[in-house]
């Protein structure tokens, strides 16, 4: 059976609710399986898991956005199989995508919490980061498997599964996949080279500002008003994917913070020469970035925290339904009477319950030993409390994460993780674990839970894709563990590497979610004063934004991140808008949008990968020279040039050229017959 020919699509009933009496038929019939686990699918799945884990971790730590790896991996998998004329590769490509897509979900779990340890001045080891990600990923897989049949089969047609739908369309695209992959790879090369030239070699300045002009410097000195922009390809590409609407919301958060609140604080500070809120010097003597770090970004932290909780509250129906489902599974009432017969079909085979139970017990035992030996320093009670928190919260919210992904395609994992941190802190302080040891334990617990929930949401997408296309669930379940191991190791290595080379928080990679969680956690664990009035202002702002229909998380994230990271997102969103208005021909417009999205995805992946490569080179250079301040620019002689006004002006023109190239290349798309 050859399913790789162009024009082969999903069955008509794949995306709609089945009529009474209809039977769903997967693309690959139950009794005619295609090759799934081969050397080919294992190698490429493992390769993409490592590469995209590194890229997603770098970009997520830089700007707080983790790009979804599933679709780019599916494009590359299908494109390569088309290029090599590999026959009947559909099921192999599903496995490639499933193993490789472990990258994004493990990254999201790790970067939302673990960098908070470094921000708080605690040194987390590679082994701690790796095991937190590994056990969290394993727990998410194991807790989700009992609910697979409900989400992907019993409720077929009820849930839209937006990301699974898009990825499935790519996997069945056949020959089109080769064309898509070529566009993606070309953009990856362009974006990677561009970002390495600027951030690695220093051929022009990475962050440009109106201060380079006389009028801009005078305005900034007098009012603390300035315009700043990161001119990287990866951040701009993310703006294209986000689109103009959300790019504007994110940027508006920045504009409010930097062009309204910050100058206002500076103006008021002229009349108060004394430092406030533990600042080292008076506001009148501060630069814009100092005012932002000491005062304004705390409002953003409050907004991020409130937005996460609002997301959980808005999902109360999903949460209620998920808890009911969990009770039905526990009591054995979730399946129909013909479940036993269906379970014998290849396309309904799961890991056997006895092995599943044994695996869950083994992972929980591993988590207990991990906590006991590497987190709470041998305290048996504290280790048991940590294990109980992880087990209960991960199990209760696994179905919440899966249901959220199935319905709206987004996972409220940051809000649920924040709740976990607060609950953990209260419980841990209650049992006598506080201070630095308490912060370490709480963030590690949060990391395990966050990764488990992130994995559950991502894995249900893989399983739905497999259901539509006729892949054996047991195969996906078994080899998802392999992708998790590789992704956890990659994320641990990248976090350790980026901490050593760039650092996290102000002055380094921003790690916004982890910074926000660290800021909330510290006063809970140490009893130190916190800028609660600014946090409360952010909470109230998020509530007001929710009332008027503006997504508070996007706006608050804009307030928290420095201006220079949000303005290129807006630039990418503007290009996406211009492409969407470039023609009235619907078919041609669809082709241009698709090509623009592929170019943007390539820019994101290429820029992020080269960012990690630059960090590796710096790390190796520091190891050889023994100099912490060693960098590539110093080695090749561009260190002083890159800080000069001509390099900054050149940066403006290079970024403008990149925007023009993206618009021009997207407009060259043609309608495929």
pLDDT tens digits, 36-54:
899 999 999 999 999 888 8
pLDDT band of 340, cuts 50, 70, 90: very low
Distance CA 404, CA 424 (A): 24
Q: Are 408 and 435 contacting, i.e. CB atoms less than 8 angstroms apart? A: no
> With pLDDT > 90 as the criterion, what percentage of the chain qualifies?
21
Closest CA to 111 of 489, 454, 495, 418: 495
Answer yes or no: is pLDDT of 8 > 50.
no
Range with the largest mean pLDDT of 176-185, 412-421, 578-587: 578-587
Across-strand partners of 504?
Answer: 509
* CA distance readout (Å), 410 to 94, 180, 303, 584: 21, 25, 19, 31
Range with the largest mean pLDDT of 260-274, 397-411, 534-548: 534-548
Segment 220-242 shows an average pLDDT of 85
Distance CA 304, CA 517 (A): 9
Closest CA to 235 of 494, 596, 651, 567: 567
What pLDDT was estimated at residue 273?
Answer: 67
DSSP secondary-structure letter at 347? G
Answer yes or no: is pLDDT of 634 > 70.
yes
pLDDT tens digits, 566-585:
889 899 999 999 999 988 88
Q: Are 45 and 471 contacting, i.e. CB atoms less than 8 angstroms apart? A: no
Q: Going by C-beta distance under 8 Å and a sequence separation of 6 or more, which residues neighbour residue 145? A: 350, 351, 356, 477
Copy the structure tokens of residue 615: 């960090």
Burial 21-46 (b: 16+ CB within 10 A, else e): eeeeebbbeeeebbebbeebbbebbb
SS3 409: coil
What pLDDT was estimated at residue 500?
Answer: 82
Answer yes or no: is pLDDT of 385 > 80.
yes
- Backbone phi, then psi, for 233, in 5-degree steps? -70, -40
Q: Going by C-beta distance under 8 Å and a sequence separation of 6 or more, which residues neighbour residue 253? A: 300, 303, 554, 555, 556, 557, 558, 559, 560, 566
Answer yes or no: is pLDDT of 12 > 50.
no
Range with the largest mean pLDDT of 135-139, 170-174, 622-626: 135-139
Closest CA to 518 of 510, 390, 496, 127: 510
What pLDDT was estimated at residue 333?
Answer: 56
pLDDT tens digits, 284-304:
788 887 888 778 888 887 887
What pLDDT was estimated at residue 657?
Answer: 93
SS3 245: helix
Helices (H), 509-585: 512-526, 532-547, 552-560, 563-580
pLDDT tens digits, 482-504:
999 999 999 899 888 888 887 88
């Amino acid at each position: 059976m050859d399913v790789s020919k162009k024009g082969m699509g999903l069955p008509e009933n794949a995306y709609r609710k089945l009529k009474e009496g209809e039977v769903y038929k997967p693309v690959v019939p139950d009794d005619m399986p295609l090759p799934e686990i081969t050397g080919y699918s294992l190698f490429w799945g493992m390769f993409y898991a490592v590469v995209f884990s590194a890229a997603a971790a770098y970009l997520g730590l830089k700007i707080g956005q983790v790009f979804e790896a599933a679709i780019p991996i599916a494009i590359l998998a299908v494109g390569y199989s088309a290029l090599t004329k590999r026959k009947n590769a559909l099921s192999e490509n599903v496995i490639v995508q499933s193993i490789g897509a472990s990258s994004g979900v493990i990254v999201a779990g790790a970067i939302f919490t673990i960098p908070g340890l470094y921000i708080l001045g605690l040194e987390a080891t590679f082994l701690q980061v790796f095991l937190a990600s590994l056990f969290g990923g394993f727990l998410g897989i194991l807790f989700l498997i009992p609910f697979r049949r409900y989400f992907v089969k019993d409720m077929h047609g009820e849930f839209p599964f937006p990301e699974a739908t898009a990825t499935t369309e790519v996997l069945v695209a056949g020959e089109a996949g080769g064309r898509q992959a070529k566009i993606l790879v070309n953009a990856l090369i362009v974006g990677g080279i561009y970002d390495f030239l600027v951030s690695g070699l220093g051929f022009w300045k990475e962050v440009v500002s109106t201060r380079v002009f006389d009028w801009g410097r005078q305005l900034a000195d007098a009012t603390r008003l300035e315009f700043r922009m990161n001119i990287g390809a990866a951040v701009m590409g993310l703006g294209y994917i986000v689109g103009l609407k959300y790019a504007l919301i994110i940027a508006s958060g920045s504009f409010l913070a930097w062009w309204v609140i910050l100058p206002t604080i500076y103006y008021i500070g002229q009349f108060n020469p004394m430092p406030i809120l533990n600042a080292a010097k008076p506001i009148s003597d501060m630069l814009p970035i100092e005012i932002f770090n000491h005062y304004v970004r705390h409002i953003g932290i409050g907004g991020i925290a409130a937005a996460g909780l609002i997301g959980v509250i808005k999902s109360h129906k999903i949460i209620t339904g998920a808890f009911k489902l969990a009770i039905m599974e526990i009591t054995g009432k979730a399946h129909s009477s013909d479940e036993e017969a269906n379970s014998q079909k290849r396309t309904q085979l799961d890991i056997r319950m006895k092995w599943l139970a044994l695996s869950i017990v083994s992972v929980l035992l591993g988590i207990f030993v991990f906590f006991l030996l590497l987190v709470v320093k041998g305290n048996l009670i504290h280790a048991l409390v940590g294990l109980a928190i992880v087990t209960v919260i991960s199990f209760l919210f696994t179905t919440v994460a899966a249901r959220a992904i199935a319905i709206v395609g987004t996972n409220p994992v940051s809000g649920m993780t924040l709740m976990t941190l607060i609950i953990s802190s209260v419980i841990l302080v209650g049992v006598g674990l506080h201070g630095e040891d308490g912060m370490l334990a709480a963030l590690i617990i949060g990391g395990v839970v966050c990764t488990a929930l992130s994995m559950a949401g991502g894995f249900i997408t893989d399983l739905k894709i497999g259901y539509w296309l006729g892949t054996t669930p047991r195969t996906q379940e078994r080899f998802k563990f392999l992708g998790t191991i590789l992704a956890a190791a990659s994320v641990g290595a990248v976090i350790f590497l980026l901490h050593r080379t760039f650092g996290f928080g102000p002055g380094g990679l921003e790690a916004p979610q982890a910074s926000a969680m660290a800021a909330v956690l510290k006063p809970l664990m140490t009893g130190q004063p916190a800028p609660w009035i600014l946090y409360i202002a952010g909470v109230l702002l998020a509530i007001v934004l929710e009332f008027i229909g503006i997504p508070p998380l996007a706006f608050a994230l804009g307030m928290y991140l420095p201006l220079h990271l949000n303005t290129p997102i807006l630039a990418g969103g503007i290009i996406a808008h211009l492409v969407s208005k470039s023609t009235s021909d619907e078919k041609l417009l669809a082709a241009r949008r698709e090509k623009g999205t592929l170019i943007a995805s390539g820019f994101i992946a290429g820029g992020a990968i080269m960012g990690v490569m630059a960090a590796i080179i710096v790390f190796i250079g520091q190891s050889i020279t023994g100099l912490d301040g060693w960098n590539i620019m110093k080695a090749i002689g561009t260190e002083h040039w890159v800080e000069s006004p001509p390099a900054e002006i050149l940066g403006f023109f290079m970024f403008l050229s990149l925007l023009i190239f993206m618009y021009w290349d997207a407009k060259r798309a043609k309608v495929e017959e």
